[in-house]
Structure formats: structure tokens, C-alpha cells
A and B are shown apart, each in its own frame.
Chain A
Amino acid sequence: DAKTTQPNSMESNEEEPVHLPCNHSTISGTDYIHWYRQLPSQGPEYVIHGLTSNVNNRMASLAIAEDRKSSTLILHRATLRDAAVYYCILRDGEEGGGADGLTFGKGTHLIIQP
């Protein structure tokens, strides 16, 4: 998996939007941007993924820069349950290309203040 860079931690207030950045300047043309999160004492959980266009699902939105060298995971209205470590992972091809195992970095520890 190609390298990504994320801030170690971020803090936000409950019910406010959260923008989690990820830099991936060496992304290749076939790399998809995946986001997972890990709630306290839980296993990682898939959040969202995309290639070029912005993506929305029930959990979050993914905004991808035009040059694809960075992306932002957007939580529109953070709750206390969104406090977790968020991982940005590049994967070769949407459907199964590249290695089987996901490569997790240190991620961003998101703290939500009530």
C-alpha cells in the first residue's frame, strides 16, 4: 500500500462537522482511497472509499482533491460515538488488486468534546 500521512490527533466539538485530512502525494492512478476507523476496544470498521469523485454514504463523505494527492474524510455532525482512530489507506484497484492485507498506519485519533 502506498504511503499516507495523517495528523496524529484532532479535536472537535459534538454536533459540529469534522474534517480529517490525509496526504498521499505518491498515489498511483489505480489506487483507491479507503478510510477505516477503530472505536475504543473494537476492531477496525470500514467507513468509505473513492477514486476521483467525492463520495457520500450514511457514515461520512469523502472529498478527493483534483490532483488526488490529498483527501478529506468529513463527518457532518460528530457525536461522541465518533471518537475513534481514523485510518486512511490506499489500495490498488477497487476490486481486489494488490495485497490481501490492509496496511494500517497510526491514523488520526479523533477526540470529541461534549
Chain B
Amino acid sequence: EPEVTQTPSHQVTQMGQEVILRCVPISNHLYFYWYRQILGQKVEFLVSFYNNEISEKSEIFDDQFSVERPDGSNFTLKIRSTKLEDSAMYFCASSGTALAKNIQYFGAGTRLSVL
């Protein structure tokens, strides 16, 4: 069964450093998403991406965040200057078409630890 793949599974970084979280969405999907989940809290939407541009973003997704689809398979989330409060699980998701946005397939996540 096709799945969303995220790497690395755990990323440790120092405060102020840049990190790039990587995702390989399901191959024929067109919509891509990033969510985060701070330990013990709800899953929160960050951003959606369609047709090589951001479709929608939440208040959390400020100027320190960016997303990119550098090639036909990868989807990345970059955090420019990490803060302690960026420590969280980050989940990538994808959905097949605009007509099926509500069925999103999630990866297992990347645990980001900012020290």
C-alpha cells in the first residue's frame, strides 16, 4: 500500500540552527501538507501546498518557516532559525486531488528536538 515517508525520524538541533524536514508524499497525490504536534497537545495544521505554491497556511506558519517541492517526489519543510518551542513532532500528509482533500494520508512523523 502506498505511504507517505518522512526523514529523518528524529532530528536534534541547536537553537538558532536551520533544519530541513523531508517528506516523500504518495506518488500521484497533488496536495501536500505539514502539521505539527507539540508533546501532549493537539495536532496543528501548518501549511498546504498545491501546484507549486502555498495554498493555505495557519498563524503558526510565520516567516521562519518555508516549504518547497524541489523535485517531483520530495516535499520539504525548512525552519530557518529554530527556537526551543519548535520542538515537536512534524507530520507530512498528502491527498489525491482537490476533490478528495478531506482524506489525507499522514507519514509517521519527524521528531524535532531543539536544544
A contact set with B: CB distance below 8 Å:
32, 34, 38, 41-46, 49, 91, 93-96, 99-106
Contacts and interface: CB of A to CB of B under 8 A. Distances in A.
A43 to B, nearest CB: 3
B105 A46 contact: yes
Contacts, number: 67
Interface string B79-115: 0000000000001010001111111111111000000
Given A45-B106, A101-B35, 6 more contacts: A44-B106, A94-B102, A95-B98, A96-B97, A101-B46, A104-B42
Contacts of A46: 103-105
A43 B108 contact: yes
B103 A49 contact: yes
A100 B35 CA distance: 12
Contact of A96 (B35, B42, B56, B98): B98
Interface string B8-35: 0000000000000000000000010101
27 contacts: A42-B106, A42-B108, A42-B109, A43-B4, A43-B91, A44-B43, A44-B93, A45-B106, A46-B103, A46-B104, A46-B105, A49-B102, A91-B102, A95-B98, A95-B99, A95-B102, A96-B97, A96-B98, A96-B100, A96-B102, A100-B31, A100-B33, A100-B48, A100-B56, A101-B46, A101-B48, A104-B43
Nearest to A85: B43
A102 to B, nearest CB: 6
Contact of A43 (B58, B97, B101, B107): B107
B33 A101 contact: yes
Given A43-B107, A43-B108, A32 B43 contact: no
Nearest to B106: A43
Contacts of B104: 44, 46, 102
A99 B31 CA distance: 13
Nearest to B4: A43
B56 A101 contact: yes
Nearest to A104: B43
Contacts of B93: 43-44
